[in-house]
Amino acid sequence: MTLLFRDVRAITLAGPPGPRRGTALGDIDIRERADVLIEGDRISRIDSDIRPPAGAMVIEGRGRVLLPGFIDCHTHCCWAGDRLDEWDRKRAGASYLEILASGGGIMSTVRAVRRSSEADLSRTLLDRLAVMAGGGTTTVEVKSGYGLSTEHELKMLRAIRAASTSWPGTVVPTALLGHAIDSETPNFVERVIYETLPAVSDAFPAITVDAYCEKGAWSVDETVRLFEQARAARHPIRVHADQFTSLGMTVRAIALGATSVDHLEATTDNDLLALAASATYGVALPVCGFHLDGRYARGRRFVDLGGAICIATNCNPGSAPSSSMPLAIALAVRHMGLTPQEAIAATTVNPAALLGMNDRGTIETGKRADLILLRHRDERSLAYEVGGNPVDTVVIGGRVVSAAHSSA
């Protein structure tokens, strides 16, 4: 298929490979009044006044903003059931950790996932992925973590893999083996490390392994033990750390060569400095702060220190019930101190680098044609608008998958 975007304000984010840091984060390389030609699943030309090839589909930009597709690098969007009753408790004053300690929170979703079939999990995930695509997300990381047993973690990972084959975008699975502690399973940590991890290694070689290090969940020592075994089995590692409490996991993760440390709401200044100076990414999850307790990662400080920052939705049924990357951008600008331009880079080119996908995240010749056309003519409107959907047209792999108002 041949497709031509004509007369767009192209936010190309062109530049050297790898994450953008410091002042480079806000340099998004704007091409005003450009045409972008797509042939097959790749961008073949960026210029002005491109003559449409015979048979090409033409989308009239009329000066509107064209962006790389959003890359949501931290989600838990494979789940079953809901947490509406617990939301009532939260609104009545119960904290997230109190709900978790009473057997709710993650564990309530674990029970629902265990009751669900693999087919049901895959079907509901596919429904959520369709919604995400409509909002401009073209690549998404999806974690397991609601199984908490070998059988059900493998079931979740198979469901994620099955859904990915039916969605036009790209799904990156992650094995979140250290999510919560199942108090009803004797020697739970040992069973995860010495039973579940090897089974996952056999079925999903080299998949990234993740853990949630927090009071009431996995301790620093337990998380390190899991990660040492995972690294020995050639798994990359990522970690949830410093959401509510700074336990020291951030510096341990850096020493272990973790790909990212995610959350960072409670990270100390010294740990933030160490993270910024390392090759480990910092992933901020502002929807979580919006929904839970009004606390946000210090994004401005991290960027000014030179850190490699990404922004993701953390889409999940408990702490971040949203799959909207535009909402995450709006919150990051309001509450984390990022500029709209920095937030755009933190949801496109930087998460592409985090996930090791150098073929996307920018609008450049030869890159994968995952693109979104906004309703707006100014990219700042993406962060200014709250609620609603600013995305008009979504192209994934060179094919239009969602088109609200475009004239073609």
Answer whether residue 407 shows pLDDT above 50.
Answer: no
pLDDT at 86: 84
5-19 burial: b if 16+ Cβ within 10 Å, else e: bbbbbbbbbbeeeeb
CA distance 171 to 8: 28
Over range 146-171, report the average pLDDT.
98
Q: CATH 2.30.40.10 occupies which residues in the chain?
A: 2-68+359-403
The token duo for 197 is 């991890």
pLDDT at 391: 97
Over range 187-205, report the average pLDDT.
98
Q: Is 178 helix (H, G, I), strand (E, B) or coil?
A: strand
- Say yes or no: domain 71-354 is CATH 3.20.20.140: yes
pLDDT more than 90, % of the chain: 91
Report yes or no: 383 and 330 within 8 Å, Cβ to Cβ. yes
The H-assigned helical ranges of 211-255 are 220-232, 249-255
- pLDDT tens figures, 199-227: 999 999 999 999 999 999 999 999 999 99
Contacts of 135 (CB under 8 A, 6+ apart): 70, 323, 324, 325, 326, 389, 391
Report yes or no: 158 and 225 within 8 Å, Cβ to Cβ. no
Report yes or no: 65 and 406 within 8 Å, Cβ to Cβ. no
246-256 burial: b if 16+ Cβ within 10 Å, else e: bbebbbbbbeb
Inter-CA distances, 302 with 30, 46, 216, 273, 370, Å: 25, 33, 27, 7, 28
94-109 burial: b if 16+ Cβ within 10 Å, else e: eebbebbeeebbbbbb
Q: Where are the beta strands (DSSP E) in 134-179?
A: 137-143, 170-178
Q: CATH 3.20.20.140 occupies which residues in the chain?
A: 71-354
Torsion sign, CA atoms 316, 322, 328, 332: negative
Q: Is 54 helix (H, G, I), strand (E, B) or coil?
A: coil
- pLDDT tens figures, 297-349: 999 999 999 999 999 999 999 999 999 999 999 999 999 999 999 999 999 99
11 beta partners: 30
What are the backbone angles phi and psi of residue 170, rounded to the nearest 5°? -110, 130
Answer whether residue 399 shows pLDDT above 50.
Answer: yes
Tally of CB atoms within 10 A around 388: 10
Tally of CB atoms within 10 A around 208: 22
Torsion sign, CA atoms 282, 125, 109, 153: negative
Which helix (H) or strand (E) segment holds residue 146: the answer is: none
Which helix (H) or strand (E) segment holds residue 4: the answer is: strand 2-11
Over range 71-95, report the average pLDDT.
91
Over range 380-405, report the average pLDDT.
93
pLDDT at 403: 79
Over range 154-177, report the average pLDDT.
98
Report yes or no: 106 and 318 within 8 Å, Cβ to Cβ. yes
Contacts of 202 (CB under 8 A, 6+ apart): none
* Residue with tokens 């890359």, as numbered in its chain: 71
CA distance 333 to 216: 31
Q: Helix, strand, coil proportions of the chain in percent (round to 5)?
A: 35, 25, 40
Q: How confident is the model at residue 85 (pLDDT cuts 50, 70, 90)?
A: confident
- pTM of the full predicted structure? 0.96
CATH says 2-68+359-403 is which class?
A: mainly beta
Q: How confident is the model at residue 143 (pLDDT cuts 50, 70, 90)?
A: very high
Question: In the predicted model, what is the mean pLDDT of the chain?
Answer: 96
pLDDT at 78: 98
- pLDDT tens figures, 90-122: 888 888 778 877 777 888 899 999 999 999 999
Contacts of 76 (CB under 8 A, 6+ apart): 142, 143, 145, 146, 176, 314, 315, 316, 317
pLDDT at 405: 52
Tally of CB atoms within 10 A around 92: 7
Beta strands at 281-284 and 260-263: parallel, antiparallel or unpaired: parallel
Inter-CA distances, 230 with 254, 261, 352, Å: 15, 16, 23
pLDDT at 91: 86
